[in-house]
Chain A
Amino acid sequence: MKSIYTLLIAGCVVIGLTACSKKEEPVVDPVVQEAPAEAVEAQQPQVNEDSLAALERERLEAERLEAERLEAARKKLQEMMDRLMSEDVYFDFDRSELTEEAKTLLIQVGEVLNQEPRFTITVEGHTDARGTEDYNLTLGSARSTKVKEFLSAYGIAAERMETISFGEEKPKQAGESEEAFAKNRRANFRVNVK
């Protein structure tokens, strides 16, 4: 079996190399025919009622496997999306600069986006409750923009990223504690699949 593949690859390479040149004696032909021939030979003795049912079973099994594979892929996609959406980037008070922690996290986010080119993201910038609604909208915008710029520098196309500011309007944790403030000074991601 291994030798067949080797031959196949070799054949392909030859075709590739000779594609531009004029017609030559096809080294590939016998090999290419060999594989279907083998398959036909294998099927030949089973052509009867039983084998048809077996084929049907096989088809169903293949469908099931395909569905499972898709489900697994979907699950993986969902996991990636969930991961992106659960990972918030945190900021210092009244600042939009990325911390070292934030950069480490954004590299992971960038990696996910590289792996899954179907993803487009919305970066939502937020602030804590202190300060005015107006200035906090600009601050939230500055934060989401900093995140976009970093990911852009990482190699993610700008068209795949939208930035929105919610200012202080959507706190993750209610309350006036330092802990709540720190949790609310963030940028988070929403993921859309193309």
Chain B
Amino acid sequence: MNKLFPFVFFLSMAIQVFASIDTIAVDVGISVFKTMPIGVVPFTEPSGTSLDWPDEKPHEVAERDLNLSGRFEIISVPKFDLVKLSRARAKFYVTGKIEKALNNKIKIDCFLYATQSKDLILGESYTVSLMDSRKAVHEFIDKVIYQLWGVHGVASTKLAWVSKIDGVKQIVVADYDGFHRRQLTFDSTISMMPVWSHDNERIIFVSFRNNKPQLYIKDVATGTQKRLFKKFEQTFSPAVNPKTGEILFSAITDGKTDLYVGDPETQKSRRLSFLKSSQTSPSWSPNSSEIIFTSDRGGSPQIYVMNSDGTDMRRMTFMGRYNERASWAPTGDRIVYTSMDDGKMNIYTCAIDGSDIVQLTSNSGNNERPSWSPDGMLIAFSSNRSGSNQIYIMRRDGSNVTRITQGGENTAPTWSWYPIHKQTKHKEGKE
């Protein structure tokens, strides 16, 4: 130990020196999180008839969910295989049974078993149409994650993003895995910057229908919509308060962009920043006591933090000339943001004091607009690494990058919140 100590000391010194100059040492794509091996066995199907699955079979949906969750290493076996599962240290496995039910429906029984004892840890039964089979499996996988990790999974959450349809940017909503995509706006002008209302029932977004950027709120189910904060001519960059549902946004008045916070119901708003510079891209801390945002007061866009009443402003990022669109992790410990270097955009995270910078994407086109999953484990973002802009999901350490859209131009993903009942449970669990 005595011999080792100077070496460790030297190493940590070296890292600090690296951190103070413009070099960021990161292992991109190598996970720093432990994953749990888990077995997946195909669900048994009713013999004699074959079911007409819309896209994937239930065990394929389960595998996709478990993999996307960032928490598991999938051990896929065609049927229960004690040796293979044991060798891979998969202490648990997921399987199920499908039966035909009345009214053209199917009954999906989902099971989580302990590999060695074959004890049933968790069992759920869903009677659904074939079309809703994905939804049933998503729900079960979220229960598995709660059982094994003690936190809610995000398999039942949704994403909204911007998709170019007939050359026009429109808002679309979909399941978090990119399936069940649905177009929300049908305008001849640009729609962009979607975020979810606190109850996940409405989307707040920017529309250019009056030939200038203005915030609207639209009900996902009914399609009814209205303009928000009409006393401003130009409004954008909406961010929803995770506790109250209030909306932080940027508005341009007298040629200057500033931050305001407003209530979407009463339409009342108040100004939060009073600087000579321009402020934009606000984001709330998980307990909504603080706000991070971008200001160009130092001559280039950098990330700042202040109390939610606008006091005690301080700078957070110092490295690089262009740091923008910061978003506070729901776990509270880190922020994710986009940085431009040499004209290319890449995604970074850092601790909330601006230290411990980690680069999550590199050498793969432009990577932009990171959005946290509600459990803080994953980050959705858009990248043009494939030649066109598409939506990807990765773990918060930059590993396990998975593309969830194909074709077209897809940008600016925003993750939904947990369903309301899970929002409370999650907080109780944390405190």
Contacts and interface: CB of A to CB of B under 8 A. Distances in A.
Interface in A151-173: 163-167, 169
Interface in A140-194: 141-142, 144-145, 148-149, 163-167, 169
A102 B394 CA distance: 44
A141 B281 contact: no
A141 B236 CA distance: 12
Contacts of A130: 340, 343, 345
Given A137-B213, A167-B213, A132 B256 contact: no
A5 interface: no
A149 to B, nearest CB: 8
B338 A132 contact: yes
Nearest to A145: B255
B212 A164 contact: yes
A25 interface: no
A132 B234 contact: no
Contacts of A166: 208, 213
A131 B255 contact: no
B324 interface: yes
A155 B255 CA distance: 18
A132 B250 contact: no
Given A134-B280, A134-B281, A169 B257 contact: no
Nearest to B279: A138
A92 to B, nearest CB: 13
Interface residues on A, range: 20 to 34
Contacts of B280: 134-135, 137-138
B281 A135 contact: yes
A132 B301 CA distance: 10
Contact of A141 (B237, B257, B324): B257
A44 B431 CA distance: 107
Interface string A87-98: 000000010000
Contacts of A133: 192-193, 369, 412
B278 interface: yes
Nearest to A162: B233
A133 B236 CA distance: 10
Contact of A132 (B213, B252, B257, B324): B324
A131 B296 contact: no
B255 A148 contact: yes
A164 B324 contact: no
Contacts of A169: 169, 190, 192, 208
Interface string B62-76: 000000000000000
A25 to B, nearest CB: 62
Contacts of A137: 213, 234, 236-237, 250, 252, 257, 280
Contacts of B236: 134, 137
B216 to A, nearest CB: 16
Interface in A94-149: 94, 130-135, 137-138, 141-142, 144-145, 148-149
B300 A131 contact: no
Nearest to A163: B255
Which of B193, B278, B340 counts the most chain A CB atoms within 10 A? B278
A148 B256 CA distance: 13
Interface in B208-245: 208, 211-213, 234, 236-237
B353 to A, nearest CB: 23
A131 B338 CA distance: 9
Given A169-B190, A169-B208, A164 B234 contact: yes
Contacts of B177: none
Interface string B192-208: 11000000000000001
Given A131-B345, A141-B234, 10 more contacts: A130-B345, A133-B369, A137-B280, A138-B252, A145-B254, A163-B255, A164-B212, A165-B212, A169-B169, A169-B208
19 contacts: A130-B340, A130-B343, A132-B324, A135-B294, A137-B250, A137-B252, A137-B257, A138-B252, A138-B257, A138-B280, A141-B252, A141-B257, A142-B257, A145-B254, A145-B255, A149-B255, A165-B212, A165-B234, A166-B208
Interface of B: 169, 190, 192-193, 208, 211-213, 234, 236-237, 250, 252, 254-257, 278, 280-281, 294, 296, 300-301, 322, 324-325, 338, 340, 343, 345, 368-369, 412
